[in-house]
Structure formats: C-alpha cells, structure tokens
Structure 1
Amino acid sequence: MADPRLRAALAAKQFVVAPGIFDMISARIADRMGFTALYATGYGTVASHLGIPDAGVATFTDMVGRMGRFAQGCSTPLIADADTGYGGLLNVRHTVRGYEAAGVTAVQLEDQEVPKKCGHTPGRRVIPAEEMALKIEVAVEARRSDDFLIIARTDARTSLGLDEAIRRGQLYRKAGADIVFIESPESEDEMRRIGDEIDAPLLANNVDGGGRTPILSRETLASLGYSIAIYPALGFLTMAAALERSYAHLLRQGDSNNLPEGVLYEFGKMNELMGFPEVWDFDRRWARPDAQRADG
C-alpha cells in the first residue's frame, strides 16, 4: 500500500528532502534518520544490483523486486524510479500496478525513447509529448489508490530547450501527474521560470559530483516553487569514495590497521542496523536447555 504521508506532506506545503538509496544498507541507514521520503535511484540500483550502466538494459522484473524490497524494509515513504514504464501503454499499466503492489508510494516515469539513458548524461532523446501524456493518463487510471503518486519527468530540456520542457511539464500536469520533474535545468533562472510557469508540485534533481543543475538550498528551492529535492547520487558516490580509500589502503599497507578516520562504520553498529539483536533475542528465547548448558 502507498503511504499517505507523502501526499499529506505535499498538501501541507512541507518541503521534502529525499536521499538516494541504492541497496538495503543505504536504505536502512536513511530510513532511521527521519526523512519525509526516500528516493530509490535507478542509476545506483542498477549499478549495485547488476553492475552495469543505467542505460535502459534493466527490465521491470529486475527493478520491481528491488524496489519492493526497499519499500518493505523501510518505514519511510519510497519514491521509485521506473524509467519509461518499461515500454508502451500496456507496460506502463503493468509497471504502475506492480510498483504499487510492491509498496512503493510514488513512481517516476520519464518521456525518453527506449532504451533510455541516465539523466544529466548526453544523447537523451524524447518521445512525442502527446505520447507521454497518454502514458501519464494510463498510469493515473492504473493506480488503485490516490496516495500512490505519479511523477512525470521530461528530459526535453537538454535536447529541445527549456520552452519545450516547460510545455511538456504543463501538458503532463493536465494529463494527471501529481508531481512534475523537469530534468536538467542549467541555472537558477531556468528553475525560477519552471516554478513560475508550471502549476504543480515540482521535483528538483540534485546530482552531486557533476550534474547539470545547480544544487540549491531547500529554502531557495522552496522560494522558486519546488516541493521535493532528491539527492540520488549522494549515497553511492560516498560509498564508492570510502571503498576506494579503504581498498587502496589495504593494497598499499597489506592490512587494515590505521585506516583513515571516519572511513569505517563500526561493526557493532552494523550488527544493530541489520537486526542481529532481534535474532540473538529470538535464539535466547527458543534455545534448547541442552544448548544453553553447552553455551554455559
């Protein structure tokens, strides 16, 4: 079931900051921190699950299981990347129903051609706006609950310009999208225009480490008319940097002593994060008397 708290937060004009999660360790850490929503990044999920680029190779089957595991393993509402809906109109209906049944709260659909490419990368091409509007209409009809939110993303800015991206955002809102996502605006002024000209909750994609869009404070984004800020790459880029430092240290030194401060997560904290205390409590409660004597 979709979580009604995200819709309620948007209705209350609460600005939503959503960190990117990409595996169950990142999901569990983010889930404990008090965010209003989490964002299941397609790039990071495909990279961690399949070890390949987010270039339209991953299928609905690859992704819905992962997204469902994130949703079931977290108590925070989950926003999930669903690429193009994995095909045509019938695929979109199947995707929406599958993601909703898996426990996702909001699904992001984009207007790229198949196979899609990751946002903020070159070579993205979009389908006709009217074709995407039909996909949004199908998605809205397919959902079982109004608490399951439809996010319409357009990648038209990079290839067709800002005017066309805004036109598409307006069209997708009229088609029933709950949230509009104009991918890759290239300045604060462009973001201001988007906020002025699209009457809908807006999503800002903050890509750390080299995205096209400036990363602005939540106060600035709210003043420009945005409602949600996602940080899809923050988690996996942080993880990759820490792993590279740790593994290089091991290769260079031959052991893991004297690692740089702050690189390691404490083993005891990891046990707690993964739920081992509950397992140990279960074992104690159900241990056989002979096993208890052996342990003693």
Structure 2
Amino acid sequence: MSVKPKATRQFRELLEKPGVICTMGAHDTLTAVMIEQVGFESVFISGFGASASLYGLPDLNFVSLNEMVAATRRMAHRVSIPVLADADTGHGDLHNAMHCVAEFEGTGAAGIILEDQIFPKRCGHFGGKEVISAEEMVIKIKAAVSARNDPDFVIVARTDAREPNGLDDAIDRVNRYCDAGADIAFVEAPLSVEELEQICRRVEYPKLANMLVFGKTPILSAAELENLGFKIVVASIDSGLIEAKIMRQMAEAFKRDGHTKAMQDMTIDLNEFKEVLGVDKFLSLRDDLKS
C-alpha cells in the first residue's frame, strides 16, 4: 500500500519550485476530487464556499471553527494533493488563532489563510469591511506561528485593509505580517492591474492573488500574474458559482418540462461519475484482499 505524502511538505516543495501555483477553490469534497483528477497540484477550501454549501448562507461567519475543520479534514483525507484552508480571522483573538492552527494541522491540511478583519468578518469582496490594528494582527500572526507543530505548515497572511485604509496601508501590513513569521502575503481585493503591480513591486515576500470572478479585482491569467510576480493564484469561489447556476437551470428545466433531458449535454455520464467516485475500486476491494 502506498503511503500518502505529507501535505505540508508537498506544498512547501511547490513553493520552492519555479513557476506559479494554480490553486482551484472547492466548496465541497466532491469538487476537490474532480479538481485533483484534472491535474491541479493543490486545492483551496474557502469559507465562502463552505458557508454556501453547508447552510445556503453568505460568508458572514456562520460556519464555526469546528465545522470548517471537519470539512477540511474530509477533503484532506479524500484527495492526495495539498489542501489550503480558510481560517478566516482565526475565530477570535490570539489564543483562538493558536487553537485554530492546532485544529487545522490535525486535519492534514497544508496550511491556512489568516486575515485581519474584525470578528465577525465578511467576504473580502463585500463592502463595509473593518480591520483590526496592524499591531494586533502582528501579535496574532506571531501566536499562530508559535502554535505550529510542523514547521512546514504554511500560514498565509491576508489583509482586507485595501478598502477601509487604502493600498499603502495594505502593503505595509502584509510586509509586517510576513516579518512576524507568516509565509505568504495576500492583499485582498486590489482594484486595478496597477495595484496588482504595486503589490508585487513593494511586497518582498511570496504573494497570493485571488481571482474572484465578478469581484473587485480585474481577472488576469495565471501567466500574467506570474509575470507580475505572484507565486500563488487562487480561483476561490468559481466552483460554487458555476454549480449554483447549473443547479438553477436544472431545477427550472424539471419544473418546466417534467424531466431534465434539456440538461443532458451539461450532465456527467453515470459511468464516468462512478469513475470519479472510485466505485469499482471499492467494490473490488474484497476480491483483491482474497488474492
């Protein structure tokens, strides 16, 4: 039986290699399985996607730490690629952030994204965000770093200060957060290509770009973002948005026609879906063990 590689070391090796890391967002484990099967080397579980998937509610801190940890554990157990998890604000103060790191390390995830919004937080591309002081976030980052048992566990420091305080403050913050021990800098919701360029010029640490479709940041390709200087590119919520649109179309077709034949071209074949889920592997297990 093959031994699953340690996710933290896998992700560190991706960071050490040349080239950009494309990390697709998954709102549930099935989505993560399909992301792995098409060849992605890492996957991101977002709070936005988890809130929508678990509760049908917006990204306004409805999902508890325990629920997010459980969702991350299921995903990390099922796929063999590294999982980067959304830890929101650390679910409280510095003590909560330390507990948060311990909990997510226990899931088998490769790392977390930790942000500087006040609690409760909101989606990074919603308006009306507020952030804690940079000094308080530096303390929280130091606490999170000190709580790691595995030094390869990645901590991405995210700031949402662009909207309330401006780009200069946002850039200053992520540099300070990485000075405090975070591994990756993430300025959420820059408003233009020029701002993306400034982030790359003025932030001296590895950088993450969130390409949130219909969000505030212009969408660039992974190659374009790599040329600017980003190391990680995340398409964080696309899977949930696409699923929602197709589910609505399917429901409308069934209500209108009494069947879903109109959706056949957009529907995965049942045999192909069995392959996605690994049905034959599980059904043949008993015979394999007898031989």
**TM-score of the aligned structures, taking structure 1 as reference length:** 0.93
Deviation at 1:279, TM superposition (A): 2.7
Map 1:206-285 onto structure 2 (within 5 A).
Answer: 206-208=211-213, 210-259=214-263, 261=265, 263-282=266-285
Report the alpha carbon displacement of residue 92 of structure 1 after superposing the two structures with TM. Answer: 0.5
| Corresponding position of 2:63 | 58
Q: Within 5 Å, give how 1:95-106 maps onto structure 2.
A: 95-106=100-111
User: What does the per-residue CA deviation read over 1:68-106, in whole Å, with 9 as the maximum and x for residues that have no partner?
Assistant: 111111101111100000001111111001101110101
**Bigger Rg over Cα:** 1
How many Å apart are 1:251 and its aligned residue? Answer: 0.7
Q: Which residue of 1 aligns with 2:210?
A: 205
Corresponding letter in the other structure for 1:279: F
The answer (yes or no) to whether the contact 2:23–2:235 under 8 Å persists in 1 is: yes
Note the C-alpha offset of 1:272: 1.8
- CA distance in structure 2 between the partners assigned to 1:180 and 1:285 by the alignment: 47
Work out the CA distance in 2 between the residues paired with 1:76 and 1:182.
25
Alignment of 1:124-135 (within 5 A): 124-135=129-140
Task: Give the C-alpha shift of residue 285 in structure 1.
Answer: 6.2
3-state DSSP class of the match of 1:167?
Answer: helix
Aligned to 1:140: 145
CA distance in 1 between counterparts of 2:261 and 2:69 reads 40
State whether residues 33 and 79 of structure 2, in contact with CA within 8 Å, keep that contact through their aligned partners in structure 1: yes
Q: Which one-letter code corresponds to 1:109 in the other structure? A: L
Question: 1:1-296 residue pairs with structure 2 within 5 A?
Answer: 1-208=6-213, 210-259=214-263, 261=265, 263-282=266-285
Q: Secondary structure of the equivalent of 1:143?
A: coil
Identity of aligned residues (%): 36
SS at match of 1:83: coil
| 4+ runs deviating over 3 angstroms | 282-287
For residues 5-37 of structure 1, give each alpha carbon's deviation from its aligned partner in whole angstroms, at most 9, with x where no partner exists: 221222223210011111121011011122121
| Structure 2 unaligned spans of 5+ | 1-5
For this pair of structures, how many residues does the alignment match?
A: 285
